[in-house]
Structure 1
């Protein structure tokens, strides 16, 4: 894998489950090699996707609807390093 993308959003008050379901329902095209979804305290949702080298510009999850989020999501890109 050549790239890992992390997407993290904080839900609006009382909207944690709705934000989680929204994130789980978002399809990416092309699909990543691997995708994992996590939750954290205070209604945070984290999605990590792993991409091969041959995907020049991997798609990212979009911003969720404003009514589901407390703020815009954070996004990070990581590349592997030798051990």
Structure 2
């Protein structure tokens, strides 16, 4: 299972949110990306988990993401999460 986690950084806090995201991975299989577009700084985490991973911290609708919410002072609103299944290349 692959999770995409995306948060907007609070003004002037992009590097802090980026560093928090790196720490939030805690050695798990994933990457952190940053983007500055249209005056917004975004931090994205791509996290790979086993299909039966029982870690559920943040809830968005009926979808549970195994990543915590960032500290309020680092993010502008709640992060968005999506769950994906890899189809190509076959795994």
TM bracket (short chain)? 0.7 to 0.9
TM-score under structure 1 length normalisation: 0.78
RMSD after superposition:
2.0
Specify the alignment match of 2:35 in structure 1.
40
My pick for the range that moved more, 3-12 or 56-65, is: 56-65
Specify the alignment match of 1:9 in structure 2.
7
Q: Does 1:57 align with 2:54?
A: yes
User: Relative CO higher for 1 or 2, CA cutoff 8 Å, sep ≥ 6?
Assistant: 1
TM-score under structure 2 length normalisation: 0.72
Structure with a larger share of its residues in strand:
2
In structure 2, list runs of 5 or more residues that go unmatched. 57-65
- Would you say how many aligned residue pairs link Structure 1 and Structure 2? 77
